[in-house]
Structure 1
Amino acid sequence: MLERQFPGVDYTEIEPALSSLVALVLDNPNLNDKFEREFEELLLLRNFGAAEILQFSMHILRWESVKRATRKALDECDDARRGRILEGVYESFDPDWEDRDLFRQFRSQR
């Protein structure tokens, strides 16, 4: 789904940065509240590029507060394109997330 939404995005180029972000979060559990707020704020942006950050991160972290915020944003969304992106973010919380193989780190999970 991400490839259809963002044709031409090279996920191999952005994956190291996304991995570093998740490592930073995992290495600083005392800042989880702040990180959660930051992830939730990404949901509100009209910057569709935030989808990759959220999907990669939440596939690993699976924070319930961010999942609930994603569901709420999706329920309140009245823009079809943004709705599809939010659906993709919501799906990334699932261990069997369909688009996880776009990222090398998740390919062995199939």
Structure 2
Amino acid sequence: MANTMPHGDAPDAVEGFRRCVHEVLRIADSSCGVEELEPELEHALRILQGNFDLRDRLEEEIVSLLDTPVEGVIELVSFVMHELRWPPVKAEIERRLAHPTGDVSNRRHYEAMLDAFHDSWRDRDLYRRYG
């Protein structure tokens, strides 16, 4: 697992988040379950929490992930948004549910990510953080 990025260092924090996303996708592609993903999900959360001054840029990064809701992306968005609950990310997920385009099977993925914005998120027990 990589180190967290320095607070407030825009290129490093955004690039660090992108590297973290890449690592989550790599792990998700070669594993089953969230146990192996959780350390990188925690790392992503630390980057997002530690760089509040870059929230707009980091929100854009998360929203861009919604274009391809594959395994890894679903877990990442769900995990970090359960903690952060950023309204623009929630609004974008809701928009995609209200006005679906492309692959209709993505609806289930968007619904799963939207569920993470609630205290009663049904997948929360999959993670040690909430156990």
Q: Which runs of 5+ in 1 are unaligned?
A: 1-7
Range moving further from structure 2, 86-95 or 69-78: 69-78
Q: CA deviation at 1:103?
A: 1.0
Q: CA deviation at 1:46?
A: 4.9
Conserved 8 A contact 1:100-1:106: yes
Higher Cα Rg, which structure: 2
Q: How many residues align?
A: 101
Identify if the C-alpha distance between structure 1 residues 84 and 15 changes in structure 2 by more than 3 Å, giving closer, same or farther: same
Q: Does 1:13 align with 2:36?
A: yes
Counterpart code for 1:62: R
Q: How does 1:44-55 map to 2 (within 5 A)?
A: 44-55=67-78
Q: Which runs of 5+ in 2 are unaligned?
A: 1-30
- Structure 1 Cα separation of the partners of residues 65 and 115 of structure 2: 16
Q: Does 1:22 align with 2:79?
A: no
- Structure 1 Cα separation of the partners of residues 93 and 33 of structure 2: 25
Q: Which position in structure 1 is the counterpart of 2:22? A: none
Q: Which position in structure 2 is the counterpart of 1:31? A: 54
Higher helix share: 1
Higher relative contact order (CA 8 A, sep 6+): 1
- Structure 1 Cα separation of the partners of residues 69 and 51 of structure 2: 28
Percent of residue pairs bearing the same amino acid type: 32
Provide the secondary structure at the position in 1 that maps to 2:119: coil
Q: CA deviation at 1:93?
A: 0.4
Q: Does 1:92 align with 2:91?
A: no
Question: What RMSD in Å do the two structures reach over aligned CA positions?
Answer: 1.8
Provide the secondary structure at the position in 2 that maps to 1:20: helix
Q: Which position in structure 1 is the counterpart of 2:5? A: none
Q: Which position in structure 2 is the counterpart of 1:73? A: 96
Counterpart code for 1:69: E
Counterpart code for 2:40: A
Provide the secondary structure at the position in 2 that maps to 1:70: helix
Cα deviation, 1:39-96, whole Å, max 9, x if unaligned, reads 1111112534310110001001100110000000112225342100100000100011
